Amino acid sequence: MIDSVSAALKIASSGLEAQSTRLRVVSENVANARSTGDTPGADPYRRKTVSFAGELDRITGAELVRIKDVALDRSDFRTEYDPGNPAADADGYVKLPNVSMLVEMADMREANRSYEANLQVIKQARELVNLTIDLMRG
């Protein structure tokens, strides 16, 4: 049995891990926004999505968060007319990744905000612990 403030710290740090993984996936998507296939008509980079799940920590009894799955976005690719591209098919169209910069930026901002929220929980819990320990010093 761990005290609740320590459990809050543990939960918040699992949130930090989860949000940083999410930021990693977003950066992969952004970096590969124009990664095409190698051969004519080949599929380009497929956008990755991340999903979270609650996970019960047996020791603390706290509900941590973990990365459930890094899946692939099954939506259609964009096509662009570019006959000179090595990945262009017989008609001259190149398949481009199904990454939308706008969506990725929004996702990044949300990951950033969630990370900050978890950091705030850690700061708060730490302050509470310090205040409680200070009771002994009085």
Partner 1 sequence: MISALSNSLSSLGIGRTQAPTLTPPTAGAANAAPATGFADAMAEVASDAARSLRSAETVSIGGINGQMTTQAVAEAVMNAERTLQTAVAVRDKAVAAYLELSRMSI
Residues 17-76 that bind partner 1 (CB under 8 A): 17, 20
Q: Is 12 exposed, middle or buried (0-12, 13-18, 19+ CB in 10 A)?
A: buried
Stretch that binds partner 1, among 4-12, 40-48, 51-59, 64-72 (CB under 8 A): 4-12
**Tokens 């929980």 sit at which residue?**
121
Nearest-approach distance from CB 133 to partner 1, in angstroms: 5
Interface with partner 1, residue 122, by CB under 8 A: yes
Interface with partner 1, residue 103, by CB under 8 A: no
Q: How many residues does the chain have?
A: 138
Beta-bridge mates of residue 53: 66
Interface with partner 1, residue 7, by CB under 8 A: no
Among 16, 33, 108, 121, binds partner 1 (CB under 8 A): 16
Q: How many residues form the binding site for partner 1 (CB under 8 A)?
A: 15
CA distances from residue 69 to 72, 82, 103, 104, 124 in whole angstroms, order as listed: 10, 35, 19, 18, 30
The answer to whether the CB of 47 falls within 8 A of the CB of 23 is no
Grouping H, G, I as helix, E, B as strand and the rest as coil, residue 42 is coil
Nearest-approach distance from CB 132 to partner 1, in angstroms: 9
| Site residues for partner 1 per CB under 8 A | 6, 9-10, 13, 16-17, 20, 122, 126, 129-130, 133-134, 136-137
